[in-house]
Amino acid sequence: MKFKERVFSGMQPTGSLHLGNYLGAMLKWIDLQKTHECIYCVVDLHAITVWQDPAELRQAIRQVTAAYIAAGLDPKKSVLFNQSQVSAHAELAWVFNCVARLGWLNRMTQFKEKAGKDREAASVGLYAYPNLMAADILAYRATHVPVGEDQKQHLELSRDIAQKFNNDFSDAIRSAGYDDGEFFPLPEPVIVGPATRVMSLRDGSRKMSKSEPSDLSRVNLTDDTDLIAKKIRKAKTDPEALPSEIEGLSGRPEAENLVGIYAALSGTAKSDVLSEFGGRQFSEFKPALADLCVERIGPIADETRRLMADPAEIDRVLADGAGRAHNIADPILGEVKDIVGLIRSAS
């Protein structure tokens, strides 16, 4: 079956958003609004797979929502809401808990990283997290999922779940009128551009992340302009000048990272950045990068702060988005229940 193109993505409301989130995900979310029907979700149910302070979680849900709007997400055009307001996510996740296999989840590298050494003490939710992620996407039968590189494995699992559901229930799916037996699409990752994996500013071998202890390792979307400039100035580099060709970046992870950030922020490719800056020292490149970063990130921080001054308005936006999300997801969930053999009331 040819599925209607629909974009879905989600972001956890934990910690503050940083340049990696912005370049790896947000920019693409905003871009795709121009061409696609888009559904964007603040995944609060994913956040509680590790303990969150309740008051901080509530604040973080609003903060992420505000940051997205500040960065250019238009909540009138796209559907923007928090996951827990739309019960289809949790309900479909249960069905998928019964479709996905233990062996599949055992391979998930993010679980291994997040659970750490004491795996027995991790929550069951953290383990089943990828099934909920599949439910997020497939509750809308979304076909395209813009994310950073680190989510690739989870998306492959979503595809496996969609495929297994289609196979396990193929007769019921056909009886429901889907002649080719395909109820769910196999969602495609959209992992594109020069900054799908932004690295720490202090160590080019580590991902930029909100859990990294050193604040100098990342540019937060809440940093003021002086702090942004300082972090770029202090970013780790090597002593060589920038190369003129992409090949010259190999084995130079810090240089490659900064060039990738510059390219993504200026909407060009790494090769364009190198044709401009090839042969020049970091002492010249860093101030240019700092200016660009301040110019692009500074206004987002200001606008986020302005929006956060009116939390009731943010809650209203989320409630409106949740209503629209319900309208899409509820009929799909109803069909899933029929296909699986559950009984629901006619209304």
Q: Which of 7, 12, 27, 314 binds ligand TRP (CB under 6 A)?
A: 12
4-12, 93-101, 257-265, 319-327 -> range binding ligand TRP (CB under 6 A): 4-12
Cα separation, 308 vs 60, whole angstroms: 10
194-202, 233-241, 288-296, 297-305 -> range binding ligand AMP (CB under 6 A): 194-202
Three-class DSSP labels, the chain: CCCCCEEEEEECCCCCCEHHHHHHHHHHHHHHCCCCEEEEEECHHHHCCCCCCHHHHHHHHHHHHHHHHHHCCCCCCCEEEEHHHCCHHHHHHHHHHCCCCHHHHHCCHHHHHHHCCCHHHCCHHHHHHHHHHHHHHHCCCCCEEECCHHHHHHHHHHHHHHHHHHHHCHHHHHHCCCCCCCCCCCCEEECCCCCCCCECCCCCCCECCCCCCCHHHCCECCCCHHHHHHHHHHCCCCCCCCCCCHHHHCCCHHHHHHHHHHHHHHCCCHHHHHHHHCCCCHHHHHHHHHHHHHHHHHHHHHHHHHHHCCHHHHHHHHHHHHHHHHHHHHHHHHHHHHHHCCCCCCC
How many residues form the binding site for ligand TRP (CB under 6 A)?
Answer: 13
Q: Which of 12, 63, 131, 143 binds ligand AMP (CB under 6 A)?
A: 12
132-140, 147-155, 237-245, 297-305 -> range binding ligand AMP (CB under 6 A): 147-155
* Of residues 127-146, those binding ligand TRP (CB under 6 A): 133, 136-137, 145
* Minimum gap (Å) between residue 85 Cβ and ligand AMP: 18
Q: Which is nearer to ligand AMP, 173 or 318 (CB)?
A: 318
Name the residue with the smallest CB distance to ligand TRP.
10
Write out the two tokens for 108.
């998930």
According to the binding rule CB under 6 A, does residue 32 interact with ligand AMP? no
According to the binding rule CB under 6 A, does residue 148 interact with ligand AMP? yes
Which amino acid belongs to residue 227?
L
Active site annotation includes 230: no
According to the binding rule CB under 6 A, does residue 24 interact with ligand AMP? yes
Cα separation, 47 vs 155, whole angstroms: 18
Candidates 28, 76, 114, 236; catalytic one: 114
Active site annotation includes 112: no
Q: Which is nearer to ligand TRP, 133 or 258 (CB)?
A: 133
Q: Which of 36, 141, 144, 154 binds ligand TRP (CB under 6 A)?
A: 154
Identify the bridge partners of residue 70 per DSSP, sorted by sequence position: none
16-24, 65-73, 220-228, 338-346 -> range binding ligand AMP (CB under 6 A): 16-24
Question: Residue 198 binds what, of ligand TRP, ligand AMP, none (CB under 5 to 8 Å, by partner type)?
Answer: ligand AMP
Q: Which of 36, 89, 207, 296 binds ligand AMP (CB under 6 A)?
A: 207
Contacts with ligand TRP by CB under 6 A lie at 8-10, 12, 43, 46, 133, 136-137, 145, 147, 151, 154
Contacts with ligand AMP by CB under 6 A lie at 11-12, 20-21, 24-25, 147-148, 150-151, 196-198, 207-208
Q: Which residues are catalytic?
A: 114, 207, 210
